[in-house]
Chain A
Amino acid sequence: MPDTTKKQKLRFLPTGSALHRLSALLTLLLLIGVFAFTSPAFLSVNNGLTVLLQTSVIGLLAIGMTMVIITGGIDLSVGSVLALSGVIAGLLIKAGLPVAPAMVMGVVTGGVCGLMNGLIITKMRITPFVATLGMMMIARGIALQLTGAAPISRLGEAFGWLGNGALFRLVEMQDNGFPRVIFPGIPYPAILLVIMAILGAYLLQRRQIGRHIFSVGSNEEAARLSGVNVDRTNIWAYTASGALAGLAGMVLMSRLVTVQPNEGVMYELDAIAASVIGGASLMGGVGSISGSMIGAFIIGVLRNGLNMAGTSAFIQQIIIGIVVIGAVYIDQIRNRK
């Protein structure tokens, strides 16, 4: 056993999961190394911030997805819920609501979709795969119906603040009248991602709800017999996933300063891939936020690095597909011994 496993606070996780996270982290560093070597622009502050920005949406989705996967479920609806949340926020702004409350309503919309998922799964006893597949179509359908499939634009400058703003941004006015960016700042989406990841990890590791999420995914019957409210735990996880999808929707639409009802298609698969690369088991009971964040960044760095190396989007799909299978295969080998 490597020493790292002993230092883990999360002692109830299989000792191998820390190992998995370590190997995922090494993979990430290796990728960064390879891309830095092949493309000199890759390892620049600007590009680093771009990767942060690009990964924040998948990262936010992956936090919720990880919780759901640990319960032994899956949430296929997050990509559509992200779009619907954006549409609701956009329509509310068009109806005259200020940006901030409209965005809150967008997140609430996501939470409500997640709550519906949870209720359908626990009360109607429909498997998570089918329930969230249904919600995926329903949410996308509502988003397209409400907008007539047309994007909502001219939402005002304030709408773009969350997605495009940055903390500690240093801009200097030059003599010629053009601004010069000294430090592009830390993008708000990245800050939001860090806050939500810490919050998610805190809930999962230090609160009862987190312990119950692990127990439900580990052995649902045992959890129920031990007095854990299994239905409430599941509903909680899906609601959190929906609300985070709503938040991711706000970030994405804000970055585009336009609400696109067609956005977020297949994002759920990226989120699932991030969780799985990060060591979450689709059998439930295993997973961590930190692992999923590494997974999200592996996908983000791969996309970005391959883009900079001029690889086509199709080849990128193939490579990410191979990475997902490879990550799970390594996990399998580890569990077999």
Chain B
Amino acid sequence: MEFGTPLVEMKNISIAFGGVQAVDDVSVDLYPGEVVGLLGHNGAGKSTLIKILSGAYKADSGEICINGTSVTINSPRDARTNNIETIYQTLALADNLDAASNLFLGREITNSFGLVNDDAMEAETREIMARLNPNFKKFASPVSALSGGQRQSVAIARAVYFNAKILIMDEPTAALGVHETQMVAELIEELKRQGIGIFLISHDIQDVFKLCDRVSVMKNGQLVGTENVADVTEDDVLGMIILGKQPEKAA
């Protein structure tokens, strides 16, 4: 299914922190309407790699292309200009602010006098939350008062609201219950249909097999390999994660 120009190409990305080579010459790509899982142990470099795409870190070397054009991403703001939205594992919410303020943080709706328009932001938030999580009612509370699932829906709403073309999800279901995990899975299907490309970071192999089209495995900062989910078994992928070995191709 890999035709045409990839939505995202990360080519030969490397980054080191102090003496530690966190990401070492890794290349991954992502096509529209595709979910690519990034698997690996803790500290394998998945999150670091993805933070380079979302603008939280700057790569020491390598190139990022969006729709075939090389782009520079120096800050989360740059990433957003390229329609890249990220849902962080830590959710990156400002605990003392309410859902609407968090959703629009850094991109507040202002009126012609430059005043923050709380009413408009809350109305928009209510609208998107009605779609994502109809049970969500706590619009006036600071997000510190919300449950894990509710916080997750705020983080997801923030990513989805601004018409992302590329979505990065870092452990999106880690803190969720069964019902909420199902909600995220349905959301991912829906976003795929809209042609959005999704990087899904996880260490739950079953999750990845259920949700992803391809899977890229990292170990010790290096890319072990990228496989179509349909062509490999869970054991193959486990082997890649633990041993860092490419599965032997049948035929």
Q: What would be 8 A-B contacts, judged by CB atoms less than 8 Å apart?
A: A12-B96, A207-B114, A207-B116, A214-B97, A218-B94, A218-B97, A225-B54, A225-B76
- CA of A9 to CA of B118, assembled, Å: 9
Question: Which residues of A pack against B, CB within 8 Å?
Answer: 9, 11-15, 205-208, 210-212, 214-215, 217-219, 221-229, 285-286
- CB-CB contacts of B105-118 with A at 8 A, as 1s and 0s? 11110100011101
Q: Are A221 and B105 in contact (CB under 8 A)?
A: no
| Apart from A11-B98, A224-B76: 5 A-B pairs, beta carbons within 8 A | A9-B118, A208-B116, A218-B94, A219-B94, A225-B86
Query: Which residues, 136 to 150 on B, are CB-close (under 8 Å) to A?
Result: 140-142, 144
Considering the complex of A and B, which 7 residue pairs feature the smallest CB-CB distances, nearest first? A227-B106, A285-B96, A218-B94, A222-B92, A218-B96, A226-B105, A215-B94
Q: Are B80 and A227 in contact (CB under 8 A)?
A: yes
- CA of A218 to CA of B88, assembled, Å: 17
Interface of A is mostly: helix
Question: Within 8 Å of chain A (Cβ to Cβ): is B90?
Answer: yes
Q: Are A227 and B94 in contact (CB under 8 A)?
A: no
Q: Which residue of the partner chain, among A210, A225, A227, contacts B88 with CB atoms under 8 Å? A: A225
Residues of B within 8 A of A14 (CB): 96, 142, 144
Q: Are B142 and A226 in contact (CB under 8 A)?
A: no
Q: Are A227 and B107 in contact (CB under 8 A)?
A: yes
Question: Within 8 Å of chain A (Cβ to Cβ): is B211?
Answer: no
Report if A215-B110 is in contact (Cβ < 8 Å); known contacts: A9-B118, A11-B118, A225-B92: no
Q: Are A227 and B75 in contact (CB under 8 A)?
A: yes
Query: Count of chain B residues with Cβ under 8 Å from any Cβ of A?
Result: 34
Q: Are A206 and B92 in contact (CB under 8 A)?
A: no
Q: Which residue of the partner chain, among A11, A206, A207, A211, contacts B105 with CB atoms under 8 Å? A: A211
- CA of A14 to CA of B141, assembled, Å: 7
Question: Within 8 Å of chain A (Cβ to Cβ): is B56?
Answer: yes
Residues of B within 8 A of A219 (CB): 92-95
Closest Cβ–Cβ distance, residue A201 to chain B (whole Å) = 13
Residues of A within 8 A of B226 (CB): none
Report if A12-B97 is in contact (Cβ < 8 Å); known contacts: A206-B115, A225-B88, A227-B76: yes
Closest B residue to A217 using CB positions? B96
Question: Within 8 Å of chain A (Cβ to Cβ): is B14?
Answer: no
Question: Within 8 Å of chain A (Cβ to Cβ): is B77?
Answer: yes
- CA of A225 to CA of B91, assembled, Å: 10
- CA of A212 to CA of B96, assembled, Å: 12
Residues of A within 8 A of B86 (CB): 225
Question: Within 8 Å of chain A (Cβ to Cβ): is B101?
Answer: yes
